[in-house]
């Protein structure tokens, strides 16, 4: 194959794949601005004839999507904060502090990665019911607040910290908590950003657990609300697309802003060892 | 505080959370799967009885369980290789020096990965709408009659597979891309001097060098695809004719719609067993071929 032809083929395929990847999202955006009923025509219109915010108004004023948005933001933020606290402490401990049984415990944690989360859901629901945490934010946050993946992510990064630095601080008489706070935490900043994005996106996009634990409509997160809306309003395509925009845009924006950290974490997380 | 003590103190909160909210519930699920926990036991624990392996035996005789298992395997067996192939193809395109604007394309291909499954499933349900969907409209140009994608038992699962591939291929693509970048360039140079075609270079250099990455990606993707749930929940509600009921969908309905938490736990454990079996099999095959 000559070089110019290869160039055309490669770039053509790249362009085609990009169109396939983005077209559904673009169309979602376009349809969300259409008049109610406009998208239910054949052939389907590509752009709104008279752009309107009516669907968004309907969602926020009548369907209570403002509340769902708040619930999603609150649960994702709480999960992120808890995950940062718990996983950073543990990840640093597994990387840098020698304690009895450390390596055995860590191996056990890695082995537990093969268990799918859904196995725990039935007893977890009963446990939270006993603790009166069903239909609370806490109930939705609990499974995401500490995780093997998060600990692993921080540990891999913290291992590159020079031991001499920590030893010097110990000789100077600094306590372990102070060393963590003043020396370790600042150097971990990049991986903390990565962990925060993973936790936030994971909590925001999660569907099955919020569906189970938040049956109260006032506590629904966006995915749960959108799913129940889509089962009721099968015909209202424009409304559904506006709901999808509200759900997807915050995480897409977050990803675009912090893409570098996200992709880095993805690679750390998948190269075990 | 001495480092040894500090170590335990720092790890304790996370370990306690994982123990209480994950590992103990997993063990409890095993116990629960041996009981007839249902809505009566939910109201009053005295209605709970130990039934041994009855839940498992009943499931293995339940046609709906086998249907769910078959549907899930269909999704996995077609979806995983297709997904990996598209990911690898996209990674090769992005890796090629001939491409322009590569960072832009990488971001574009990855965008669906970070979106919310429920939201994009709603979009796809509309794209594949029988009467107004863009897909049928595009096919009408080729003189193909409208297909009832999500309403026809033959097409519902393929549509969900296409959706999953579209949504997920970017993830593995990033891992493949890192793998491709770590292959030494002189290998290709030597092959070019020997007059090897691109296809032969791919077969004899790229694929073998990507071996460990392929195994890793295979395992991650298998684990993810076995957990099919939100897609059928939103796009088809398990229909038509239960052609898209997945194992987890069955678990959800048993556990949280009918409150048969004992049966649901048994379903979850059977899925776990199946996933472990398939993953071990894959690892065993990889080791025999000397990859890893």
Please write the tens of the pLDDT for every residue from A186-214. 999 999 999 999 999 999 999 999 999 99
**A139 touching B (Cβ < 8 Å):** no
Residues B199/B201/B203/B204 CA torsion (nearest 10 deg): 150
Distance from CA of A33 to the nearest CA of B (A): 14
Write the residue in A118, A126, A244 that is nearest to B251 by C-beta.
A118
Q: Are B214 and B234 in contact (CB under 8 A)?
A: no
What is the C-alpha end-to-end distance of chain B, expressed in Å? 42
**A123 touching B (Cβ < 8 Å):** yes
Write the residue in A10, A120, A270 that is nearest to B96 by C-beta.
A10
- Within 10 Å of residue B26's Cβ, how many Cβ atoms? 20
Q: Which two tokens stand for residue A10?
A: 């490669």
**B181 touching A (Cβ < 8 Å):** no
Residues A176/A181/A184/A186 CA torsion (nearest 10 deg): -170
**A111 touching B (Cβ < 8 Å):** no
Would you call B22 and A112 a contact, using CB atoms and an 8 Å cutoff?
A: yes
Would you call A98 and B237 a contact, using CB atoms and an 8 Å cutoff?
A: no
In chain A, the residue whose alpha carbon lies closest to the alpha carbon of B254 is A122
Would you call B178 and A267 a contact, using CB atoms and an 8 Å cutoff?
A: yes
Residue ranges of domains in chain B: 62-288
Residue numbers in B near A252 (CB within 8 A): 111, 114-115
Please write the tens of the pLDDT for every residue from B102-144. 999 999 999 999 999 999 999 999 899 888 888 998 898 898 8
Confidence check: pLDDT of A96 > 50: yes
**B247 touching A (Cβ < 8 Å):** no
Write the residue in B24, B132, B271 that is nearest to A41 by C-beta.
B132
Helices (H) and strands (E) in chain B, counts: 16, 0
Interface of A with B in 45-84 (CB under 8 A): none
Would you call A122 and B264 a contact, using CB atoms and an 8 Å cutoff?
A: yes
Please write the tens of the pLDDT for every residue from A217-252. 999 999 999 999 888 877 788 999 999 999 999 999
Averaged pLDDT score across all residues of chain A: 92
Q: Are A221 and A210 in contact (CB under 8 A)?
A: yes
Fold of A61-270: MetI-like fold (1.10.3720)
The pLDDT assigned to A135 comes to 97
As a whole-number percent, the residues of chain A with pLDDT over 90 amount to 79
**B45 touching A (Cβ < 8 Å):** no
The pLDDT assigned to A37 comes to 85
Would you call B114 and A201 a contact, using CB atoms and an 8 Å cutoff?
A: yes
Report, as an integer, the average pLDDT of A104-129: 94
**B67 touching A (Cβ < 8 Å):** no
In chain B, the residue whose alpha carbon lies closest to the alpha carbon of A271 is B216
Would you call A116 and B170 a contact, using CB atoms and an 8 Å cutoff?
A: no
Q: What does the alpha-carbon distance between residue B239 and residue B156 come to, in Å, rounded to a whole number? A: 8
The pLDDT assigned to A236 comes to 85
What is the C-alpha end-to-end distance of chain A, expressed in Å? 41
**A235 touching B (Cβ < 8 Å):** no
Residue numbers in B near A11 (CB within 8 A): 98-100
Confidence check: pLDDT of A273 > 50: no
The pLDDT assigned to A272 comes to 47
Write the residue in B1, B32, B137 that is nearest to A123 by C-beta.
B32
Residue numbers in A near B6 (CB within 8 A): 93, 97, 99, 176-177
Write the residue in B93, B115, B174 that is nearest to A267 by C-beta.
B174
pLDDT bracket for residue B82 (50, 70, 90): very high
Please write the tens of the pLDDT for every residue from B217-237. 999 999 999 999 999 999 999
What class has domain B62-288? mainly alpha
CA proximity to A210, closest of A75, A52, A28: A75
Q: Please give the backbone phi and psi of residue B50, each rounded to the nearest 5 degrees, phi first.
A: -80, 130
**B150 touching A (Cβ < 8 Å):** no
Averaged pLDDT score across all residues of chain B: 93
B292 vs A113, residue with greater confidence: A113
CB pairs under 8 A between A and B: 288
Report, as an integer, the average pLDDT of A260-266: 88
**B127 touching A (Cβ < 8 Å):** yes
Query: In this predicted complex, what is the ipTM?
Result: 0.92
């Amino acid at each position: 194959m000559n070089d110019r032809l290869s160039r055309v083929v490669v770039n053509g395929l790249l362009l085609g794949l990009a169109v396939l990847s983005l077209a559904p999202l673009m169309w979602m955006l376009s349809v969300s601005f259409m008049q109610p009923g406009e998208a239910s025509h054949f052939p389907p219109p590509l752009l709104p004839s008279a752009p309107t915010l009516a669907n968004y108004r309907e969602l926020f004023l009548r369907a209570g999507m403002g509340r769902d948005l708040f619930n999603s933001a609150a649960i994702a933020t709480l999960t992120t904060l808890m995950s940062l606290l718990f996983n950073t402490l543990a990840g640093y401990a597994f990387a840098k502090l020698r304690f009895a049984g450390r390596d055995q415990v860590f191996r056990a944690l890695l082995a537990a990665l093969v268990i799918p989360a859904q196995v725990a859901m039935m007893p977890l629901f009963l446990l939270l019911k006993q603790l009166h945490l069903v239909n609370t934010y806490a109930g939705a946050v609990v499974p995401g607040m500490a995780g093997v993946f998060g600990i692993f992510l921080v540990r891999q990064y913290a291992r590159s910290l020079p031991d001499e630095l920590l030893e010097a601080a110990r000789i100077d008489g600094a306590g372990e908590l102070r060393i963590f706070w003043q020396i370790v935490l600042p150097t971990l900043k990049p991986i903390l950003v990565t962990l925060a994005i993973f936790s936030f996106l994971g909590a925001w996009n999660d569907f099955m657990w919020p569906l189970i634990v938040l049956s109260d409509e006032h506590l629904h997160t966006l995915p749960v609300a959108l799913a129940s809306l889509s089962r009721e309003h099968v015909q209202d395509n424009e409304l559904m697309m506006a709901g999808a925009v509200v759900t997807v845009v915050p995480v897409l924006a977050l990803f675009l802003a912090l893409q570098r950290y996200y992709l880095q974490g993805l690679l750390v997380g998948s190269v075990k060892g | 505080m001495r480092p040894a003590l500090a170590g335990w103190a720092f790890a304790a909160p996370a370990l306690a959370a994982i123990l209480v909210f994950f590992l103990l519930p997993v063990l409890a699920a095993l116990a629960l799967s041996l009981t007839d926990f249902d809505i009566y036991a939910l109201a009053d624990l005295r209605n709970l009885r130990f039934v041994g392996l009855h839940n498992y035996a009943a499931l293995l005789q339940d046609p709906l369980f086998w249907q769910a298992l078959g549907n899930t395997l269909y999704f996995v067996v077609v979806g995983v290789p297709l997904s990996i192939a598209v990911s690898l193809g996209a990674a090769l395109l992005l890796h090629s020096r001939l491409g322009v604007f590569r960072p832009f394309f990488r971001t574009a291909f990855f965008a669906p990965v970070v979106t919310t499954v429920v939201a994009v499933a709603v979009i796809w349900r509309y794209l594949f709408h029988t009467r107004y969907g863009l897909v049928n409209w595009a096919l009408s140009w080729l003189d193909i009659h409208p297909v009832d994608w999500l309403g026809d038992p033959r097409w519902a699962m393929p549509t969900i597979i296409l959706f999953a591939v579209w949504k997920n291929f970017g993830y593995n693509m990033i891992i493949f891309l890192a793998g491709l970048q770590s292959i030494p360039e002189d290998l290709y140079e030597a092959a070019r001097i020997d007059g090897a075609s691109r296809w032969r270079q791919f077969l004899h250099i790229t694929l073998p060098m990507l071996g460990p990455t392929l195994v890793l990606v295979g395992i991650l993707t298998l684990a993810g695809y076995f957990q099919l749930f939100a897609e059928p929940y939103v796009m088809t509600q398990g229909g038509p004719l239960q052609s898209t009921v997945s194992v987890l969908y069955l678990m959800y309905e048993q556990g949280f719609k009918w409150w048969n938490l004992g049966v649901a736990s048994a379903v979850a454990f059977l899925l776990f067993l199946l996933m472990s079996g398939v993953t071990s099999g894959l690892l065993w095959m990889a080791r025999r071929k000397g990859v890893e």
